[in-house]
Amino acid sequence: MATMVLADLGADVVKVEQPGVGDETRTWGPPWWGEGEEAASTYYLGLNRNKRSIALDLRDPDDLDVASRIALGADVVVDNFRVGTMARFGLDRDSLAERRPDLITCSVTGFGSTGKGAELAGYDFLVQAMSGVMAITGRADGEPTKVGSAVVDKLTGLYAAIAILAAVEERRVSGLGQHVEVSLMGSALAGLLNVGSSHVVAGTDPGRQGNRHPSIVPYQPYRTADGVLAVAAASPSLWEKLCTALDREVWLTDERFANNEARMVHADDLEAEIEGVLAERSTAEWLECLRAAGIPAGPINTVRGAFRDAAELGLDPVDELDDGGTTGGRPGPFRSVRSPIRMSATPPTVRRRPPTNDEHGREVRSELED
């Protein structure tokens, strides 16, 4: 994730993989793109555009020499090995910095590199479980639930990309590189945001509240005549607008709903009142009404519906690369989720479809000889 973000922004990313399958996410399917032995999982495709691939066996002295030359010729070296692996191959920060003190290195770990966690492998689901994310996700009377996508992986990748860019800017000033480390566990804890703050500051141990917000009411889905509508009236002015739009100004003088703190105490009562009104009309009708009143509201979309809505709202959520051919038996243009970053002068671009393993091996080796 970290290197794809940087690649979208223009970096030349060389992905060093082991011979054979290489990146194991290629096998994490279905769904697949392509057919037969050359088929790749959509999981792999979603994280590897704009990269080049070279296959190297770091246990082979000649391949290790190639890897060392790639690292020493780079601006940034990123790894997600188990702690200590890079040092065994002489590719760690200390070893590389002896020859390239301006080199920036970045390690993504599961649980850090200095304590007992250094010995543990990290996976998104595992860290969702250990970090408290699952404890606050799901119905209040149900079991702990993971988030439907790899949210910890995403957070870690984004934190790593941000830190790398900060290190690049620092190097511009000082001329020196540094080592960046970002852990899955640390990223997950930081990603708890207000929930983590409530524990650190007030000593709470928050649990699951279903689709309700722990600090804001109304801020949840509500049933309508034919479905469900998400309503986010997250300020006093929006609460007033909601009461007016629903023709229930009487709620403004109801002591149970006088302010957000009171509404939190009487959330069940308010939910029943709101759903009593929303039952009179369809989701589509209420959506038009609430949006016209300036109240944040939206449907509970499927993934297909989310992309449809994003397109209708003008976000152009899908990027398509038609490079005039096929790669590895994968036919037609390559489609991917567009980067959310918009920049007026240097916007992210999709220049390469995700590579097959060692697709650019000969090319990269040739560049090292130049």
**Who contacts 259 (Cβ-Cβ below 8 Å, separation ≥6)?**
236
3-state secondary structure of 341: coil
Distance of CA 339 to CAs 4, 10, 161, 266, Å?
10, 13, 14, 41
Both tokens of residue 155? 């957070």
Q: What angle do CA 264, 268, 272 make, to 5 degrees?
A: 130
Spatial separation of the C-alpha atoms in residues 310 and 16, rounded to whole Å = 35
Question: Which of 124, 148, 126, 150 lies closest to 138, judged by CA?
Answer: 148
- Count how many Cα atoms sit within 13 Å of the Cα of residue 334 in the half-sphere of its side chain: 25
The reply to whether 153 belongs to the active site is: yes
Whether the CB-CB separation of 81 and 71 falls below 8 Å is answered with no
Question: Which of 365, 308, 348, 366 lies closest to 49, judged by CA?
Answer: 348
Strand partners, 299: 229
Question: Which of 3, 8, 158, 169 lies closest to 78, judged by CA?
Answer: 3
Q: Which of 92, 124, 153, 358 is catalytic?
A: 153
Whether the CB-CB separation of 55 and 45 falls below 8 Å is answered with no
Ranges of H-type helices in the chain: 2-8, 42-45, 61-72, 85-88, 93-97, 124-130, 151-174, 184-191, 194-202, 236-245, 260-265, 267-278, 283-292, 303-312, 361-369
Both tokens of residue 224? 């309508």
CB neighbours of residue 282 within 10 Å: 14
Q: Which residues are catalytic?
A: 153
